[in-house]
Structure 1
Amino acid sequence: MMRLVIVLALALMLSAISLVTARYQARELFVQTDRLATKARELDTDWRRLQLERAELARNARVDDIGRNELHLVLGSPDRTLYLQGGELTSSSPQQGERP
């Protein structure tokens, strides 16, 4: 009878330790899940900020302003445009597979 009591007491102790360990792991996983959810929200916020920044940097008015003021570009006009006549291209170099 005494052996049975000792075995049951040991089983009860192992069960209690197992329960405490399982609860501790569950708590740790909950904290980690909460941290990861917070990190996901931060990353989402950063992503949206970067999308807005990219849209701002690619605006036509901004590109035009940089071209005019920083790069000193000017609009093309018909009097400054060079027109080439389209014609058949001739080459003095040998074509592929031909000998010189």
Structure 2
Amino acid sequence: MARLLLSVLVVANVVSALAVVEARHQHRQLFVQLSRLERARDELNIEFGRLQLEQATWAESNRIDQVARDRLGMKFPEGVETVVIRP
């Protein structure tokens, strides 16, 4: 009887140890994945900041005015070209 109980306890101890090893291995893998994802997040945040700055630069009114004049040949109408329509 004592021998059977001792055998069961040894087997339970080995199974428990293997479960701890598996849990620690899984923890390490998940930690590596978390580190990778955090690094990717940081890179995306940097890229997003750069794109916001670029968008702000392209959307400046001086830039829009310059492109309208140079590429599209647009200009402000002169006094004689302005027509006022009254209801």
The alignment-based identity, stated in percent, is: 36
Query: Following TM superposition, by how much is the alpha carbon of 1:49 offset from its aligned partner in structure 2, in angstroms?
Result: 0.7
Structure in which a larger fraction of residues adopt helix: 2
Question: How big is the shift at 1:85?
Answer: 2.5
Q: What's the CA shift string for 1:32-91, capped at 9, x where partnerless?
A: 2111111110111011011001001101121111111100011112111112232xxxxx
Q: Which residue of 2 aligns with 1:23?
A: 24
Give the aligned residue type for 1:79: V
- Aligned equivalents of 2:77, 2:69: Cα separation in 1: 12
Q: Over alpha carbons, which structure has the higher Rg?
A: 1
- Equivalent residue, structure 2, for 1:56: 57
| CA–CA distance in structure 2, aligned partners of residues 19 and 85 of structure 1 | 85
Q: Which residue of 1 aligns with 2:3?
A: 2
Name stretches of at least 5 consecutive residues in structure 1 with no aligned partner.
87-100
The aligned amino acid for 1:42 is: E
- How far residue 10 of structure 1 moved from its aligned partner, in angstroms, is 0.3
Q: Which has the higher contact order (CA 8 A, sep 6+)?
A: 2
Structure 2 gaps of 5+ residues are none
User: For residues 9-28 of structure 1, what are the alpha-carbon distances to aligned partners after superposition, in whole Å with 9 as ceiling and x for unaligned?
Assistant: 10111011011011011111
Which segments of structure 1 move beyond 6 Å, counting only runs of 4 or more? none
The alignment yields a C-alpha RMSD, in angstroms, of 1.1
Query: Which residue number in structure 2 is paired with residue 34 of structure 1?
Result: 35
Q: TM-score, normalised by structure 1?
A: 0.80
Length, aligned pairs only:
86
